[in-house]
Chain A
Amino acid sequence: MSDQALSPAPRSAETSHPPLPETHFIRPPKKRGRRLFNSLQPWLFISPFIIIFCLFTLFPLTFSVYLSFQEWNPVTGLSGMNYVGVQNYVEAYDDPWLWKSLYNTFWLAIVSGVPQHLIAVPVAYLLVYAVRSSLRHVLTATMFIPFITSTVAVALIFYSIYSANTGILNQMLLGASKLPLIGALFAWVPDVMPIKWLTKSDLIKPAIAAVVIWKYTGFNIVIYSAGFVTVPQDVYDAAKVDGCNRLQQFWHVALPMIRPFIFFAMTLTIIGNLQLFEEPFILTSGDTGGVGQAGLTTSYYLYLVGWEWLEMGAAAAISWILFLIIAIATSIHFYFNGRKGMEGNR
């Protein structure tokens, strides 16, 4: 040791100590079998998922592609399948009901989607900044309840609320028209009674939209509350010192900072609203989309074609068309908002 220290050998960083002889290291013997097991182990762990995924997702997915080029009534069994080429797609293109359902779907997606966010963002902001946190949790939980309530139950309750002769909505409107001061605003009500919310073609879509808004706004409020909570207090303080009033703090600071949350919530709304089914289905009594097909969404139409008219091939084609449309709508959303939305503040 001391000999080495005294020797005049050059002492660069690499040679600062001589390497130990190779024999110094102890290598455990290699175990071949163990290595195979090690490389298989992760696959074994995820195999339950893979099996279930292949069985219930991958197979139906590919099968529906195949199916969309067949003519098939499921009652006739698998042998009743006929290859028809792209005929299902051509027929879908010429199908006025499909176009109508697409129009309805987009109408509902916009009219029931936009207000959800226009309401949820300011409500979440107020909840986070004007309400103390214990009360805020109670309120958010309450507003979340519509989202976790079964859509069928929700739709059935609204079905009775909208009922023309006995529904509480019409009763309330009538009552309002008899009130002393605001009655004047509702003077038109008795003349148009009973209002047939669910059986007049131009009222069906707004009625459905109202249910969707009611059901999903609370969900968005929860997302946006989580977003506003992430904005640190000192940034608001800086904004106050920079001369912002409450509204400017919201507009210039809070809103841009929750952009990733807005992006996420909007993505969910776009995908969800383009698949709207239960609400219109129940509110129109599962009929052919209500009077004049005013409540017929594409998912709803898909259900009619497949399960009412038993044309599985046509239904598969329509479902792929719907998928394509959702994919395009989402891509457009990603293209315009994705970069800013997903990069966040990084």
Chain B
Amino acid sequence: MSSLDLLGISKSFGATEVLKNIDIHVSEGEFIALVGPSGCGKSTLLRLISGLDEPTSGDVVLGQHVVNDLTPRERNVAMVFQSYALYPHMNVAENIGFNLRISGVPKAEINQRVADTAAILDLTELLTRKPSQLSGGQRQRVAMGRALVRNPSLFLFDEPLSNLDAKLRVQMREEIKRLHAKVRTTSIYVTHDQIEAMTLADRIVILNEGIIQQVGTPKELYTKPANPFVAGFIGSPSMNLLEGKLTQSGDTIQIELDGGVTLPCPQTAPQSASGRVIIGMRPEHLHLGEAAAGAINITGRLDHVEPTGAQNHLKVKFGKNTITATDNTLQDLASNAEVTLSLPTDKLHIFAN
């Protein structure tokens, strides 16, 4: 177990720069979720940390040591590959125990640890099968087992649960959380699933186009997104982002949205935000009906309703935009009806554009 520091990591493949100047400090025992859209460089970053690839520039520091020139074996990292990368000629037990075998662990201990890991991952029945005889989700759990059986200084998970059904995913998520609480091995966890990131991680790193957008606790990212990308990326359904500009008339500052609607600007508007801005409103903060003083009221025309069971997502035409609001009261609303939504002023996000 050790801390991890990435110092100014960049990676290019030929002319394409995939990672740009990545700086992250991960404390010992911390669980970091790495999220970002497809192709933003998450897997590439894990490969650099594991030592499978070399950064074009920058340093990877494990504990106190710069490990740029060390092999994966010397770094002692365990990794779950996005593609599983199981050994097709070995059965499940051999796949899981391979690292231990290479490390010269006694056979009895290997068997014990493989059995324990298989039990956690619900693979006990499958130990003698070859990977080709497993379903996608079973293979993924074997890939997971190959990492979990070890005692590495660092765990790297590349979308380890992406192929499991919803129920199994929740179950595995809890297993990972429990396991991490027990062994407290420093972990980097790549996922597309926000819930996974939010529930598992101590901190989340958001990556886009090879650049870190924000690093913070799940709560920080939700309440104080640093930019529209993060704002739109975290939260489901995603935040309504509208473009506009700040205008001053007399003493009051207003937000003039593109399309001609004007909203009052709350006192909390950042000083820096002047000129063109993007405002953000989370659907779950937009409540049906006019609110008490101090809230922002938005009046629009209901386009359609997307029911999800527990709540309805209202698609409301507002100026030239369509915004989403969640309605927990499940009201029956006529299509094309005029609806009023209210937003507490402190929930309005304003980003400089």
Contact = CB atoms under 8 A, between A and B. Distances in A.
B73 A253 contact: no
Contacts of A248: 102
Contacts of B353: none
Given A252-B98, A345-B132, A346-B132, A241 B89 contact: no
A7 B50 CA distance: 68
B216 to A, nearest CB: 29
A180 interface: no
Contacts of A253: 87
A244 B77 contact: no
B87 A244 contact: no
Contact of A234 (B77, B85, B89, B103): B85
A345 B85 CA distance: 14
A259 B81 CA distance: 25
A243 B81 contact: no
A239 B78 CA distance: 11
Interface in A207-234: 232, 234
Contacts, number: 60
B87 A241 contact: no
A240 interface: yes
Given A234-B81, A238-B146, A241-B72, A345 B89 contact: yes
A256 interface: yes
A243 B79 CA distance: 11
A308 interface: no
A126 interface: no
Contacts of B102: 242-244, 248, 252
Contacts of B98: 239, 242, 252
B162 interface: no
Contacts of A234: 81, 83, 85
A244 B87 CA distance: 13
Interface residues of A, number: 20
Contacts of B47: 237
Nearest to A231: B88
Question: Which 3 interchain pairs have the tightest Cβ spacing?
Answer: A345-B88, A234-B85, A238-B85
Nearest to A242: B99
B79 to A, nearest CB: 5
A248 B73 CA distance: 12
Contacts of A252: 98, 102
Contact of A232 (B50, B85, B132): B85
B148 interface: no
Nearest to B52: A237
A257 B89 CA distance: 6
Contacts of B52: 237, 240-241
Contacts of A257: 87-89
A345 B130 CA distance: 8
Given A235-B88, A243-B99, A256-B90, 15 more contacts: A232-B85, A234-B83, A235-B85, A237-B47, A238-B86, A238-B87, A240-B52, A240-B71, A241-B52, A242-B146, A243-B102, A244-B102, A257-B87, A257-B88, A345-B132
A150 interface: no
B89 A237 contact: no
Interface in B288-329: none
A239 B90 CA distance: 12
A231 to B, nearest CB: 9
A244 B102 CA distance: 7
20 contacts: A232-B85, A235-B87, A235-B88, A237-B47, A238-B81, A238-B87, A239-B87, A240-B72, A241-B72, A241-B73, A241-B78, A242-B146, A243-B102, A243-B103, A245-B73, A248-B102, A253-B87, A257-B88, A345-B88, A345-B130
Interface in A248-299: 248, 252-253, 256-257, 259
A248 B83 CA distance: 22
A243 B88 contact: no
Contacts of B72: 240-241, 243
Interface string B127-165: 000101000000000000010000000000000000000
Contacts of B83: 234
A237 B132 contact: no
Contacts of B78: 241
A259 B73 CA distance: 26
Nearest to A340: B89
Contacts of A238: 79, 81, 85-87, 146
Interface in B158-211: none
A242 B85 CA distance: 11
A313 to B, nearest CB: 50
Given A242-B99, A244-B73, A259 B86 contact: no
A240 B52 CA distance: 8
B102 to A, nearest CB: 5
A240 B74 CA distance: 10
A222 to B, nearest CB: 23
A239 B101 CA distance: 12
Contacts of B79: 238, 241
A245 B71 CA distance: 9
A138 to B, nearest CB: 23
Contact of B77 (A241, A245, A259): A241
A137 B78 CA distance: 36
A140 B52 CA distance: 28
B229 to A, nearest CB: 30
A240 B87 contact: no
Contact of A241 (B50, B86, B103, B132): B50
B185 to A, nearest CB: 15
Interface string B78-110: 110101011111100000001100110000000
